[in-house]
Structure 1
Amino acid sequence: MGYFLSGLILLLSSLPLAASTLTDGSEQLVVVLSPSQAASDGTLRRFERAGKGPWQPVGEPVPVLLGKGGMAWGRGLHPAQPGEQKREGDEKTPAGLFRLGMVLGDAPEPLPGTRSDYVRKTDRTAWIGHSDLPDGAKYNHLYVLPEGATPPPWWEKEVMKPDTPAHFWMVLIEHNYPDSVPDAGSAIFFHIQRSPVRRSAGCTVMPKEAIEELILWLDPKKKPLVAELPLPEYQAKHEAWGLPPLR
């Protein structure tokens, strides 16, 4: 018996360990694919899994629109990549693998069933897109103007104006966040499209019913991620990054 156990231990210790991937620990994944780096349209798909099991598709693919300039590499969970990098004002959607964060909206309360943290946008909330602002405003972070405080001179440039239909619901894509490098790109969200053909300044946009379905599906306990990539990059990286194969 002792020989058997020692032999079994030796056998198990010689088996290759499952390789770790960038998606370890996540059980929800959004995949946004575009035909090429220059393309400004794409398709969004959702996946779930149990533990480290295989990714299973959820729901139907959704057509989305991207930044007018296509994609450039963002700052997220993936290692640094060669090629064009996302910059403030370039109107490009960040490519890479990112966490999904808070939900923001105009409604007093989140959609019933929302599990993500919810922030109601008002005329006292801003998302900071300039790196040289005083008053404790941190680049690529939410800023809430204290009650009774006078808006600073830069406020109109940064305030998240309520009652903008395209921004009624928003989901934060954690590009360059929370460790934000100045001028590496800010305010990257999923949000509602302005029209079926109007591209964004870098966000990923879709019909209202699609983002509402996405919001209700997201579960922070499952550590949701989003992979946004041109198709050739996805085909080259999906296995190493732990992403589902294309079918």
Structure 2
Amino acid sequence: MTPDDLVLTPRGTRFAGRMFPCVIGKGGLTNTKQEGDGATPAGVHHIVGMLYRPERMARPANWAIPIGPRDLWSDDGRDSHYNNLVTAPYGFSHEKLRRADPLYDLVLITDWNWPNAVPGRGSAIFIHQWRRPGFPTEGCVAFRRDHLRWIAGRVSLGTRLIIPRA
């Protein structure tokens, strides 16, 4: 492990010499992630992208991509684009990336089950903003807004997210 890794610990996530409170999936940690289980997958994951809402914040890093009004994320194992960014209208099950709430105003995309997704193994494992302290996600790792912005300004493509085995 290096100081440039995001490391999930029982006290929060350690990064760049600081500790940040965070929340994980309502299903806890898992070594056998499945679509819809609400669990956060253990392992070493990498940051492979960053998305943000340009009407709600300035670009957090020069490699961040704006979320457009038709941007979606496929979560349907029957879809050949499962666990990938897709565009509306879209005939398969998906998540809207442009949400009314602020949870996806800034999203760090991990390489969990990507780019060659195995159907049913889980999708959309992101790092994003939490609803509130202690309120779990559907499997993502989530932070307070100002902490997420601080982290996003310092991570790079390939930064490791290390989640201990369950």
TM normalised by structure 2 equals 0.88
Taking structure 1 as reference, are residues 158 and 64 closer, same or farther at Cα in structure 2, changes over 3 Å only?
closer
The answer to whether the 8 A contact 1:122-1:162 is kept is no
Taking structure 1 as reference, are residues 163 and 106 closer, same or farther at Cα in structure 2, changes over 3 Å only?
farther
Distance apart, 1:65 and its partner CA: 0.6
Number of the residue aligned with 2:139: 202
Alignment of 1:1-247 (within 5 A): 28-34=4-10, 42-46=11-15, 58-73=16-31, 85-108=32-55, 111-112=58-59, 114-115=61-62, 117-133=63-79, 138-145=81-88, 151-154=89-92, 157-220=94-157, 223-229=158-164
The answer to whether the 8 A contact 1:106-1:162 is kept is no
Alpha-carbon deviations, 1:144-173, whole Å to 9, x = none?
34xxxxx24446x43323332111111012
Distance apart, 1:110 and its partner CA: 6.9
> Higher strand proportion, which one?
2
In the alignment, the residues of structure 1 paired with residue 139 and residue 19 of structure 2 have an alpha-carbon distance, to the nearest angstrom, of 20
Taking structure 1 as reference, are residues 112 and 169 closer, same or farther at Cα in structure 2, changes over 3 Å only?
closer
Number of the residue aligned with 1:245: none
Taking structure 1 as reference, are residues 224 and 110 closer, same or farther at Cα in structure 2, changes over 3 Å only?
farther
Q: What letter is aligned with 1:94?
A: P
In structure 2, stretches of 5+ residues that fail to align are none
Q: What letter is aligned with 1:224?
A: T
> Higher helix proportion, which one?
1
More RCO (CA 8 Å, sep 6+)? 2
Distance apart, 1:121 and its partner CA: 1.8
CA RMSD of aligned residues (A): 2.3
Aligned residues: 166
| Rg larger in structure | 1
Distance apart, 1:196 and its partner CA: 1.2
Give 3-state SS (helix, strand or coil) of 1:28's partner.
Answer: coil
TM normalised by structure 1 equals 0.61
The answer to whether the 8 A contact 2:50-2:109 is kept is yes
Distance apart, 1:33 and its partner CA: 1.8
Q: Which moved more, 1:186-195 or 1:157-166?
A: 157-166
Distance apart, 1:123 and its partner CA: 2.7
